[in-house]
Structure 1
Amino acid sequence: MTETPLQVPDAIVAHFDALLTETGVIELIADEVGDRPGPDGLPIRTVLLGLLISIHYTGKATLAEAWRLMTFSLTPTMREQHHLPDVDPADPHAQLASSRRFYRTFDTATTALDLDRVDRRTRLPPKDADAYAAAWDDDDPEHQRKRALLQDIVTRLVLTPVHRARGRGYLAHYGSDVGIDATAIPTWATPPRTRKSTGEHLASIEITAGWHYSGGDGPPTFGYSATLATAARTHDHVGHHPQLALGLVIDTPHRRIGPAAITTLTGIAPLGLPTGTIAVDRAYTDQKTEHFAQPARALGYKLALDYKVDQRGL
């Protein structure tokens, strides 16, 4: 943990720092956090920057890896710029204090953004867990506002690189087609279980997680569903373009399938990209027309749907 596997160049840090600034999410989160009591922690920018750098180098967005890279792999200039004090690699107490400060900053942000904060260090009875989870589905105005804010943060993080790519001409040959699909995001939390000693039913600490069933005969994944919209590429189109993610919605598996897809398409609209054909699988074919097909067509898209043989009417 104390060895330095790499040194992150200042240019890489500056690149992701500028990307964060361009998204505007720092201000959104800061406004939500406000002036909270207690000692000053690290800037939320520092923690988010660490997560982006962690994804870049390791493919993982974990706080442990983000803290390690920000603490031991940045140059002294960058550490000072992002309010990171020097930590002695041989001093475990200094490392612990530094990592806790890093973690607390992230916890402050998630506490402010959470709809109904729940202690995720212990399992709750299903009835109590369901009461907290209901905040993600109800009509409470404050809950609706926070759900919209969270989606806004996600959309900004996804679309800012797309804005950059378009400005640099990378999408000049984009043929306007979009592919939409839901993929599983596993959680480290274990599923609901029954306590052997008492027979008591206990919920997962991830109270809004569920079982994601993919096509095929494979086992389900316990976690969340990520609805992704990507810039599709067809064989007959002249030129090439990056198959960028154009939208992302994370939700409990198999909930709001059609509306989640429409949310990704609505986020794309301000880019001013041409609208072509949407390719989707049977999960979207089975949706009520008012949940997917009608609003998708209203946005200007044609639909390429997947039907079973006995559904084609031939």
Structure 2
Amino acid sequence: MTSNLDREDHLAKLRTRRLPIPDAEVHEVLAELEDSGLLAEIEPLVAQVTGRCRKLTVRALLLGMCLAAARNSGTVTLTSVANLLFFALSDEAREQFGIPRYPDHARGFEAGYGVVRRLFHRLVKAVDPSPLPKNHRLDRDLVTRLLNKADPDEITRKRSLMLRIANLILAMSLRDAHILLEGRWNGSAALDATVIGTYAKGLSADSPVTASDPDAGWYVRTAKHKDPLVTDVPAQERVKKRLYGYDACLVVARDPDRDGAPLPDGSANPDVVPSLVVAFSLDKPSHRPAEVALEALQYVDPRYPRGYLAGDRLYPDQKPHKFQLPIRALGYQPVYDYAKDQLGVQAQFAGAELIEGNWYCPSMPQPLKDATKDLVNKKIDKQTWINRIQQRTTYLFMPKQRADAEGHRRMMCPAEANRTQCPLKPYTLGRGIHLPLIDPAPSPADSPPACTQRTITLPPEAGAQLWQPLQYGTAEWQRVYFRLRNAIEGMNGFGKDPLYEHLEPGGTRRIRGIAAQAILLAFQLAHANKRKLATWAGSIALHGDQPHRRPTRRRKTKPLGTWTPKGYLAKTTA
């Protein structure tokens, strides 16, 4: 608002869209707030012991933000919050929350807006992990000095507070779905970082000053990002997408054991809960991806179980002590796909070989070891690859017992598991021609422990970077991996719909800084969850009646078991 005419015009538009808020809706939102734990978390952060009495409580501010999100597809602006709190609530509701009355003209609106703005920025300041001023282009030398002077422990504490509050806001959208998730979700989830813009113009890295949102960074996508199997991308390749903003790492719940297809009558299956965002974290694009992912996972409600965890090819490329081992300590079992340079034999331990995430007999035929590499290099066709993946099962090391509390596990070779016969273990011979005979390669050295001992103990760090419990390429792996990956990609597209939450552009979050962006994004993600649950509930046929709406028509998909790293088979042959 730069002039009196602009202010009056803006207020006139707000008045035309202003609808009275029923007291019943106010009480419903208040119940959600009371149950969320947000008030107890935020009120001590913004408490004041000196100065004039505050004209707006934290309870009233959060109420206004929740109401604004519900009316604007998750988008929360301080203008809309002030408009609802001071001019759309009933007199009884305003009296209950201690909200003062302002005249409905430009000066009255600006007074109310100032009250909302000051309290919100007080909250943002209390949880902002960045020591950099916002809304100014800062000299690079000044930025360096401020970052060097900042207390790392204080930054860590505030970042933890910021993510806790943001995830409490998100958790409000799961309040009604908690019973459904407890009974119809096995704890499996998909993990992915999706870019969201910020309302600031990004500057080049060699600029003497920063952008007015110095916490954000550039996101750049090339063809290599689109297809990680391509490793020879030229440096001068054309950029496909460039955006200045943040990476939001989302954790999306999905049970891969449930199909999710509509019932024969076209209604939604009431036993299959839709994919929902259960936690998230925020940081600069491609900045500490492993640590940011772990932050998000730590905010998943501890009441839920832990199952499989799938991510794109970024995550198998992380350091094991930063990602793979910590997620297993949290109770998740990783499910990966691999880039071209990660195929074939990946690691060895006590003679056993890790091939595309699973431990196999070292004497497994070489064509089976190189099956995926040969397919990518066009030495075999897709059906041959599928057949070789199935043949690998015979040579798979099998668990002797469950992993102990520290992650160590006793494993036995396929001969011990009665899957093969091996001359290095004479007592496994003579079991019948239906079991393959291992042909160990001659070696001047002694046979490795895996070939001489009945079992070996695999420590958790053995092959930790690329290990996964499911056999790569099998129908079971495809079912789990692709259903989880489809869930996260579908949720990204759902939340970025320009008719609803419109997550990607920065215009829906116009306050700069990572703390403000995290809080405003939490309301948008919460609205996406609520919208998805409402769509699913409306697609269910109850008591034999027709659903209120039909589920979205599904595209014709390929059956499981026909996927290969080079595409799908048109038809699976025997």
Kept in 2, the 8 Å contact 1:193–1:201? The answer is: no
What whole-Å deviation, never above 9, does each CA across 1:57-85 have from its counterpart, x for those lacking one? 11212212222222332222222222323
Q: What is the distance in 1 between the residues matched to 2:154 and 2:341? A: 45
Please list the CA deviations of residues 139-162 of structure 1 after superposition, one character each: whole Å capped at 9, or x if unmatched.
633332222222221232223443
Task: Determine if contact 1:179/1:279 at 8 Å carries over to the other structure.
Answer: yes
1:216-295 pair list within 5 angstroms? 216=226, 218-234=240-256, 236-237=258-259, 239-268=271-300, 270-271=302-303, 273-295=304-326
2:171 maps to amino acid = L
Q: 74-83 or 284-293: which moved more? A: 74-83
- Secondary structure at the aligned position of 1:260 is classed as helix
8 Å CA contact 1:4–1:72 kept in 2: the answer is: no
CA contact (8 A) 1:184 1:225 kept: yes
1:223-282 superposed Cα distances (whole Å, 9 cap, x missing partner)? 1111110112437458211322111111122122112222222222522x2222111011
- Check whether the contact 1:26–1:45 (CA below 8 A) recurs between aligned residues: yes
2:107 aligned with 1:76: no
CA distance change for structure 1 residues 41 and 87 in 2, over 3 Å: closer, same or farther? closer
> Which residue of structure 2 aligns with residue 206 of structure 1?
213
Q: 1: CA distance between counterparts of 2:218 and 2:20? A: 40
Give the residue type in structure 2 aligned to 1:280: G
2:187 is matched with 176
- Select which of 145, 152, 159 maps to 2:171: 159
Matches within 5 A, 1:18-97: 18-35=31-48, 37-39=50-52, 40-59=54-73, 60-89=75-104, 91-97=105-111
**Per-residue deviation, 1:24:** 1.9
User: Aligned pair in 2 of structure 1 residues 250, 133: CA closer, same or farther (>3 Å)?
Assistant: farther
- Alignment partner for residue 305 of structure 1, among 315, 336, 343? 336
Deviation at 1:106, TM superposition (A): 0.9
2:145 counterpart of 1:113: no
**Structure 1 279/200 Cα, relative in aligned 2: closer, same or farther at 3 Å?**
closer
- Cα deviation for residue 209 of structure 1 reads 0.5
Letter in 2 for 1:52: C
> Matched residues in 2 for 1:276 and 1:294: separation?
15
User: Which runs of structure 1 show a deviation greater than 6 angstroms over 4 or more consecutive aligned residues?
Assistant: none
Q: 2:278 touches 2:300 (CA, 8 Å); kept in 1?
A: yes
Rg (Cα) greater in structure: 2
Q: Which protein, 1 or 2, shows the higher relative CO under an 8 Å CA cutoff with sep ≥ 6? A: 2
Whether contact under 8 Å (1:210, 1:253) holds in the other structure is yes
How far off is 1:186 after superposition?
A: 0.9
Tell me the equivalent position of 1:192: 203
Task: Mark the runs of 5 or more structure 1 residues left unpaired by the alignment.
Answer: none
Q: Secondary structure at the match of 1:109?
A: helix
Structure-2-length-normalised TM-score: 0.49
Q: Distance in 1 between matches of 2:170 and 2:63?
A: 15
Report the count of equivalent residues: 305
2:309 counterpart SS class? strand
Whole-Å separation in 1 of the counterparts to 2:197 and 2:186? 33
Aligned to 2:140: 126
In structure 1, distance between residues paired with 2:198 and 2:191: 22
% of aligned pairs identical? Answer: 28
Structure 1: how far apart are the matches of 2:173 and 2:123? Answer: 23
- CA distance 1:234–1:279, shift in 2 (3 Å): same
**Partners in 2 of 1:133 and 1:244 — Cα distance?**
36
Q: Secondary structure at the match of 1:268?
A: coil
Distance in 2 between the 1:174 and 1:201 partners? 51
* Structure 2 counterpart SS, 1:97: helix
Contact kept in structure 2, 1:175 and 1:237, CA below 8 Å: no
Matched residues in 2 for 1:134 and 1:280: separation? 34
The 1:129/1:170 distance shift into structure 2, 3 A limit, reads: same
Residue aligned with 1:224, SS: strand
Contact 2:258 2:272 in 1 (8 A): no
- Three-state SS of the structure 2 residue aligned to 1:157 is helix
CA 159–92 in structure 1, closer or farther in 2 if over 3 Å, else same: closer
Show the counterpart of 2:160: 148
Contact 2:102–2:109 (8 Å) recurs in 1? yes
TM-score by length of 1: 0.86
Greater Cα shift, 20-29 or 201-210: 20-29
Kindly state the Cα deviation for residue 134 of structure 1 after the two structures are TM-superposed: 5.9
Alignment deviations for residues 66-108 of structure 1 (CA, whole Å, 9 cap, x no partner): 222223322222222223233333x211111111111111122
SS in 1 for 2:247: strand
The 1:308/1:15 distance shift into structure 2, 3 A limit, reads same
Conserved in 2, the CA contact under 8 Å of 1:170 and 1:242?
Answer: no
Counterpart residue identity of residue 68, structure 2: S
Does the 8 A contact of 1:4 with 1:73 survive in 2? no
CA contact (8 A) 2:55 2:99 kept: no
- Asked if 2 retains the 8 angstrom alpha-carbon contact of 1:180 and 1:278, the reply is yes
- The letter for the 2-side match of 1:144 is T
Q: 1:278 to 1:102 in 2, by over 3 A?
A: same
